[in-house]
């Protein structure tokens, strides 16, 4: 399965436009890429053709997340800032929190099915509070 097929499935399950699903998936993949162990992220991205490019096109920068991201970075470190910036970026795209959670949950389901449970657990830990396990 390639990234476009994953996006199309996510759009259908979340009830959102494919372009919105693409932005959301790319943003979430960017957070995963930055927060998960680099070897684990590389393994995941190898199993999902097009994911690296989508993450790069929707790159999350911890310093662009505004006030919440700056507080999270100071208190919890850069990784928390990346997650906060990713959430800010997702909300700015016009998606509701429920839609964002739906996209994240569907990405996690894909990861668990296609990349394995260990990678799925690491990804779930990188997205605390955003996915239903």
- The predicted-structure confidence for 100-123, as pLDDT tens digits, reads as follows 888 888 888 888 888 888 888 888
Q: How many angstroms separate the CA atoms of 37 and 132, rounded?
A: 21
Rounded Cα–Cα distance for residues 69 and 33 (Å): 17
CA angle 23, 82, 98 (to 5 degrees): 50
Q: Could you report the per-residue pLDDT of 59-80, keeping only the tens digit for each?
A: 998 765 444 444 444 444 445 5
Terminal Cα-to-Cα distance of the chain (whole angstroms): 22
3-state SS string for 28-81: HHHHHHHHCCHHHHHHHHHCCCCHHHHHHHCCCCHHHCHHHHHHHHHHHCHHHH
| % the chain with pLDDT above 70 | 81
What are the residue ranges spanned by the domains of the chain?
3-126
* 119 close to 44: Cβ distance less than 8 angstroms: yes
What pTM value is reported for the model? 0.81
pLDDT band at 98 (very low <50, low <70, confident <90, very high): confident
125: left (phi over 0), alpha (psi -120 to 50) or beta: alpha
Buried b (16+ CB within 10 A) or exposed e, 43-54: bbbeebebbbeb
Cβ–Cβ < 8 Å for 91, 66: no
């Amino acid at each position: 399965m390639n990234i476009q097929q994953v996006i199309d499935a996510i759009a259908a399950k979340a009830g959102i436009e494919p372009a919105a699903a693409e932005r959301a998936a790319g943003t979430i993949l960017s957070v995963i890429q930055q927060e998960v162990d680099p070897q684990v992220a590389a393994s995941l991205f190898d199993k999902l053709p097009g994911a690296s490019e989508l993450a790069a096109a929707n790159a999350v920068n911890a310093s662009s997340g505004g006030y919440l991201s700056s507080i999270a970075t100071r208190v919890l470190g850069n990784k928390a800032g990346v997650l906060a910036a990713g959430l800010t970026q997702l909300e700015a795209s016009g998606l509701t929190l429920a839609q964002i959670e739906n996209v994240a949950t569907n990405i996690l389901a894909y990861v668990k099915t296609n990349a394995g449970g260990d990678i799925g657990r690491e990804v779930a830990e990188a997205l605390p509070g955003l996915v239903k396990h």
